[in-house]
Copies of this chain bind each other. A is one copy, B any other.
Amino acid sequence: MSIIQPNILVFSPMQTDVETYAESIRNDGFMSVKTATTLDEVEKYLPGTEVILGWHFPTHLLSKPIASSVRWFQSMGAGVNDLIEDKSIPESIILTRIVNQFGTYISEYVFSFLLYIVKDYPRMRQSQLERRWDPFISETLKGKTIGVAGLGSIGAEIVRKARVFDMNVHGLSFSGKQASLVDCHFTPDQLSEFVKDLDYLVLTLPLTDSTHHIMTRDLLLAMKPKACLINVGRGLLIDEENLISVMQSGHLQTAILDVFETEPLPKDHVFWTMPNVYVTSHLSGPSTIEGVSSFFIGNLKRFLSEQPLHGLVDRKRGY
């Protein structure tokens, strides 16, 4: 491989995106960049490719002879469960994901909804529509208890903001490394203990074998009846069928869902029209082209000088 000019392939189903990424990479002096948006194009350009920057990539090709020069695959996203699930990807290919890029976006998203609900924005809006002077007293986030499941860079940023709102902050994590961030730390064997006192539960966990459908029916019912559930992690963290029946039974005041078992959320899905379910389109933590490009270029320089890459995926851990 040429140390100075590795052969890079940028893949995403979005035509405009790949061109923008390629331009940004070339602007940093890396000239051997090809782009692909279809399976045909990937097959054409894979031979000789050493580095892939990809999103929704046809991973089954990575074990084929045409991919034999690939050494490193950088995902454009934070979640890489598609790459983990495809066991055919050779161990020799280094996998990395985007980290430390989503905390700002996702925490702003989370607090926009928490404040919307706690200040009773719908009532303020309705009063204006009716030209009604209505000086009601709202509740405050201050004094409420938030639980953050997953204390990676996203969870940590939510914790940081929760502090300035003077909330009680609980956390759950698998590794326990960041336990000191929160007032009360719980491990996965204490799930029902963790959820039972929360006013707000925010899921930022990665999707792994251990977290798949971690929000079972029993766990949903262990939450306070007036609690609010926010999922900015992965749709499959929640057993959606059970969430629907639990909410239809009147348990849980609100669900704020940015991720779903099936995305895009099908047109006829009941979530779209359930009262107290807020649906958004997997937009809370966007991979901005600017952010991903700069993360990738930083990693590329590390790769070329054989330094450890950021966002290295541990296939056993699952993220």
Q: Could you tell me the distance between the alpha carbons of A109 and B111 in the complex, rounded to whole angstroms?
A: 12
Q: Which of A109, A127, A131, A136 has the most CB of B within 10 A?
A: A131
One of A57-65, A90-98, A113-121, A188-196 contacting the partner:
A113-121
A244 at the interface (CB under 8 A from B): no
**Residues of A bordering B, CB below 8 Å:** 104-105, 108-109, 111-112, 115-116, 118-119, 121, 124, 127-128, 131-138, 140-142, 160-161, 163-166, 263-265, 267, 272-273, 278-283, 286, 288
Closest to A105 in B: B140
Tell which of B119, B131, B263, B272 touches A128, judged by Cβ atoms closer than 8 Å: B272
Q: Report chain B residues within 8 Å CB of A166.
A: 104
Q: Could you tell me the distance between the alpha carbons of A111 and B279 in the complex, rounded to whole angstroms?
A: 21
Q: Flag if B118 contacts A116 (CB, 8 Å).
A: no
A116 → B minimal CB distance (Å): 6
Number of copies: 2
Q: Flag if B140 contacts A108 (CB, 8 Å).
A: yes
Q: Flag if B281 contacts A134 (CB, 8 Å).
A: yes
Closest to A136 in B: B283
Q: Could you tell me the distance between the alpha carbons of A163 and B112 in the complex, rounded to whole angstroms?
A: 16
Closest to A277 in B: B128
Q: Flag if A283 contacts B115 (CB, 8 Å).
A: no
Q: Flag if A281 contacts B133 (CB, 8 Å).
A: yes
Closest to A288 in B: B137
Q: Could you tell me the distance between the alpha carbons of A215 and B111 in the complex, rounded to whole angstroms?
A: 30
Q: Flag if B165 contacts A160 (CB, 8 Å).
A: no
Closest to A166 in B: B104
Considering the complex of A and B, which 9 residue pairs feature the smallest CB-CB distances, nearest first? A133-B264, A112-B115, A164-B164, A135-B281, A137-B286, A135-B283, A112-B119, A131-B272, A128-B279
